[in-house]
Amino acid sequence: MSLNGKHALVTGASRGIGRAIALRLAADGATVAVHYGSNKEAADRTVEEIRAKGGRAFAVRAELGAPSGIDDLFDGLAAGLAGGQLDILVNNAGGGGGGGSIEQLTPADTDRLFAVNVSAPLFITQRALPLLADGGRIVNISSCAPRIAAPSQVAYAMTKGALDVLTKTLAVQLGPRGITVNSVAPGATETEGMAAFLDANPGARAQMSAMTALGRMGQTADVADVVAFLASHDARWVTAAVIDVSGGSAISPAIGG
């Protein structure tokens, strides 16, 4: 699935799933803009690893959700692209975890969650459209949360449901340009942030593994490989899809019962 000559922007690419996506797209030949919010050291490590393997990458700093965030992102992207087009946009950056139950939610926390998980990818995509080549790819990193009624994730699930609506709407609007738009919906995935939770809760890994049909937690590469497929020519006839990449999480009452 060669991406030689392509340029990709991956938001939230310094760690976790975003980092794995950046590494995989670079391995397939793309030049990758590695976006980060505050952890410059982690972003630099991602760029250095890509370059050490013969790939091409550069880091871009922007605090999404801040007033100047999207301007900062596209100023850095323009400098790195040096006049080139963007071929692949991966809206991966997000946050909020469970967000809390309805009794625990606050207006400030919920506004922040929607700013990062909904408004940021919406307006990043808006700004990217003039740069995005016809036949390009947009991949939004969603979640299996909208499919699963989890009271502790109500606001988080709402944000990811909104992202899936954006995916389908943009797929229709951008279809005439040959641009495909898809969502990838992971479940519990072993990232750096998840590792701290698992270390503090010894039974959590077994519990989360039992919730999947495949009997294990997801790895970042499990998600990155699906994104790489969607970014490739092989996925040219896939658009408006929400692809579950959760190992079959909570699909049966027997799972995790």
The residues that are catalytic are 156
The tokens 């808006």 sit on which residue?
126
Q: In what order do the strands lie in the sheet with 86-91?
A: 56-61, 31-36, 7-10, 86-91, 132-141, 180-186, 242-245
Site of tokens 């590695």? 34
- DSSP string over 130-176: TTEEEEEEEEEE--SGGGS--GGGHHHHHHHHHHHHHHHHHHHHHGG
Helix (H) or strand (E) holding 254: none
Tokens 């698992």 found at: 198
88 secondary structure, DSSP code? E
